[in-house]
Amino acid sequence: MTHKLHNKSMAKSEIRQNRLTEEWVIFAPARSKRPHDFIKEKPDGAPLPEYDPDCPFCPGNEDKLSEIFFETKGKGKLPWLTRVIPNKYPALTPTGDAKRHVRGHQIAMPGYGHHEVVIETPVHNRPVAAMSLPEVSSVIETYHMRYRFLTSDRKDMVVIIFRNHGERAGTSVSHPHSQIIAVGATPRHIRYRQHIAEGHYDRWGTCLLCDVVASEVEAGTRVLFENDNFWAFIPYAAEVPFQVWIVPRKHQADFGDVSEEEKSDLAAMLLKVLAILHAKLKNPAYNYVIHSAGTLKSGEPHLHWYLDIRPRLITRAGFEIGSGIGINPSVPEKDAEFLRQSD
């Protein structure tokens, strides 16, 4: 049998590298959708009520909660702004320690850690994109306080703050909430990212993410918004359509070190980005994560924290799983242009 190469002309693909991870992303115009094509034609399900009697996160249903770690004082008609509770089905628990055990040729450790839920509002149908700035500021303040509390324990090597919005993003409770997990070991992919940043600093004497931001600002084509303390842009090697990074202007390794002014500006930027994604893409499912230095890395000059938002508009398939290389059918420059356009 004779095998022939497929020579049919097609739009050129491009492979870009994410400088922070050194991972490659394929941008494939031949399978590209226009930004408008990612907009959902119909909303997901029926509209949610302001209060759900069966929701454990709604006010008045405290009997469904085992404990409330933390609560911020309410304003106006709101009995409280945020609450922090233990996850009912925790991935990790704070009992025991993180000592390793050898079992023959295998290594294991107890499932030590913390798994908390941040209830972001008492209103059942008010996602972050629809909140007021004071409400989002309360969410950021809660993140910061719990982050500092958890990182004060040296056994908690890494503290991950994340939000899953929509079923496709992995949420199981519709009431607006985020999660915080503290782990007693540093995951390998975080170690690898730190190693890349350290190598860049040793070679050039500069922070890798600071240099990436400077490059994005100079190009300008992927920048969405800016304020006194933050930039928001679609990265050059965006792994998914409409991925957005919110990066502090000030070089800072640890989210725990942000100032009051920075927390206020972060809340304003997060609200602006999520509101535009909500409006332009009709409430897409998304995940966001705060990437910060580990507990023992807070003072490192080569690390720089940031917030990463990833809409769930495409599905990772066989090639991505087999190769580790992502395929993005969208183009970052066009996505940024679409989000900047006024309706």
Place of tokens 């090639």: 319
Question: Is 195 an active-site residue?
Answer: no
DSSP character string of 219-231: H-TTEEEE-SSEE
Cβ neighbours, 10 Å, residue 125: 15
10 Å CB burial of residue 107 (0-12, 13-18, 19+) is: exposed
Known binding residues: 55, 58, 124, 175
CB burial class (10 A; 0-12, 13-18, 19+) of residue 245? buried
Integer Rg of the chain from CA: 21
Question: What is each CA distance from 226 to 62, 102, 210, 289, in whole angstroms?
Answer: 40, 50, 15, 19
Backbone angles phi, psi at 4, to 5 degrees: -120, 145
Among the listed residues 114, 115, 144, 177, the single catalytic one is 177
- As a whole number of angstroms, the distance between CA 198 and CA 296 comes to 15
Q: Where are the beta strands (DSSP E) in 136-212?
A: 158-165, 177-183
Summarize the annotated binding site for Zn(2+) as residue ranges: 55, 58, 124, 175
Which among 250, 251, 247 is positioned nearest to 234, based on CA atoms?
A: 247
Question: Which residues are identified as catalytic?
Answer: 177
